[in-house]
Amino acid sequence: MSLRRFVLSSMLAAAAFAPLVSSAQPRSFTVQNGQFTLDGKPFRIISGEIHYARVPRAYWRDRLKMAKAMGLNTITTYVFWNEQEPERGVFDFTGNRDVAEFVREAQQEGLYVILRPGPYACAEWEFGGFPAWLLKDHNMVVRSSYPGFISAASEYMKKLGEQVAPLQIGNGGPIIAVQVENEYGSFGDDHAYMEQIHKMIVDAGFTKAQLYTADGADMLAKGTLPELPAAINFGPGDAQRSYPLLKKFRPQGPFMTGEYWDGWFDHWGSKHAVTNMKQQVADLDWMLKQGYSVSIYMFEGGTSFGWMNGANSNGKDYQPDVTSYDYDAALDESGHPTPKYFAFRDVISKDTGVTPPPVPAAPVAVAIAPFKFAQSVSLWKTLPAPTHSEQPLTMEDMGQAYGYILYRTKLQQPVSGELALHTLHDYARVYVGGKYIGSVDRRLNQTGLQVDAPAGSQLDILVENTGRVNYTTVIRGERVGILGGVTAAGKPVTGWENYPLPMTATASLPFTDEPCTGPCFYRAAFNVSKTADTHLDTSAWTKGEVWINGRALGRVWNIGPQKTLYLPGPWLKSGANEVVVFDLDGGAGRTMQGLDKPVLDAPVK
């Protein structure tokens, strides 16, 4: 090692672990002479990503302590617009959506923060973080200069700025950097749009932290802005190929990995992802030895609770993500350190020369004895008032974001042939005369099924949003429902009753002790004397959703690979706890239990 590199390495090590000042004294984080500086001194970012929306608020501090103990000096987090503005003009920064509190807790634990406010996130999150209500405007073009998009995004960014701009490093807070958009080079090359997003973020008050962009190394020319530093994102084995591309594009630096992918995510019906820890350790070691800044994606993946999983698609193939976002990360879904955690910890300690704090104890997970679902109610007995239309309406047309939508009509003519659902998003169950006849699945590139029905038959098509696509230009057409109408044996089927089923009011369902089959809600209770994490075993169920004490927990689908749902202890109550399950293939005698370990790698169908 040269004397210059030794001196620089020593300076970076000292600066990287300098104590974070918790007072309100203004500080500076900027780029000088091609490197990041904190209060004028060289600073190397060693970060890991956690999404506060994917971790129960009661565990934020627990996870942050784990990050500090792995040797990280910074936490990176996305802000998901659809979480913060679930309805147009209705902003929510409370509870698990309190991003400012997450940032404050990071500072209290001695960590800096990199904020990724979007407005586009990706992150295998529903619609890439965009709120579904954007698509009620049929002219909407997301990630563009379309005035309706820019106006809505600006309102969101302004409200977010009111919450967290005071927490920038220039105000004495921990936010050292703010990302402008996200991997835009993989999507388009409209630099005028990128400048609009840059201005939007500045106008929202993000002027006292370092702004930057992030793209794949091959996409830098399309996604960057000349006035902002550029970070690069890549996966295992790609570090030594990607950095020369960054140096060629921006020889002056600074040099940073915005996302180093230390794992991967799972799709329904595909095998559980397990990645190469040995390669990842070698890559991290190499990047740190070069003095580069790095953010590990993910430090902890967490959980896409409720309906918040995204999906991938290239325009034809559609791959919805599971509820778990374990990601094969250093810290697992429920906050336990993995072998990767300790391997990364050793590398960081060795390369910085700094011994991190002791590793805290992780939350204990317990088993819960099997419990039976004795009460139920048929979906057909819970339908709301419908809206009539000639052609099927989308969820967005109905002011609905997630859940299911039911289309009902009477066949005016006998049908013998294909019932075609033109542009189905995403999964449908078809019933004729109340009898289930089959499913149509976008995931399998299915578009219809054969029907034989007499005139006057009632036709029901129950459609589920299994997750809007979060990546590629496909996101621009992600309305949910039947988008292009229905034909039967080639003839249009019109005159529909549209029933919105957002699945948000399980407390008011009229449960009885009568048995139920078909699409049904089921209710049970279990008792705990002391709350603790568990993993609800969903292997007895087919396809649907689970709620715990009225909170949407996640999805069930028997095609695998996920066969448990992480249930955080803080979401339980001492005493009785209510579980509600919606299952498209209901039947009597179903049970559930809690396991002390997850099942994320079950065989797939």
Known catalytic residues are 183, 259
Per DSSP, which regions of 288-414 are E strands? 293-297, 311-313, 318-320, 368-372, 375-378, 387-389, 404-410
244: amino acid identity, one letter: P
- Inter-residue contact 440 to 428 (CB < 8 Å): yes
Cβ atoms of residues 181 and 258 within 8 Å: no
d(CA 164, CA 457): 56
CA gyration radius, the chain: 25
Pick the closest to residue 522 from 497, 495, 542, 500 (CA basis). 542
Distance of CA 301 to CAs 123, 156, 211, 605, Å? 10, 25, 24, 25
- The tokens for 13 are 């090590």
- Distance (Å, whole) CA 542 – CA 558: 5
Q: State in Å, rounded, how far the first CA of the chain is from the last one.
A: 53
Interatomic CA distance for residues 92 and 113, integer angstroms: 21
Give, in degrees to the nearest 5, the angle at Cα 262 between 333 and 243: 155
222, 188 contact by CB (below 8 A): yes
Look at residues 238, 321, 318 and name the one whose alpha carbon lies nearest to residue 280: 238
For residues 197 and 227, what is the distance between their CA atoms, to the nearest angstrom?
Answer: 13
Asked if residue 189 lies in contact with residue 216, where contact means CB atoms within 8 angstroms, the answer is no
Kindly provide the b/e burial profile for residues 432-468, where b requires at least 16 CB atoms within 10 angstroms of the residue's own CB.
Answer: beeebbebbbbbeeebbeebebeeebebbbbbbbbbb
Measuring CA to CA, how many Å separate 244 from each of 1, 13, 218, 291, 528? Answer: 20, 24, 11, 14, 56
- Beta carbons of 310 and 127 less than 8 angstroms apart: yes
CB atoms near residue 94 (< 10 Å): 9
Q: At 172, list the tokens.
A: 């004495």
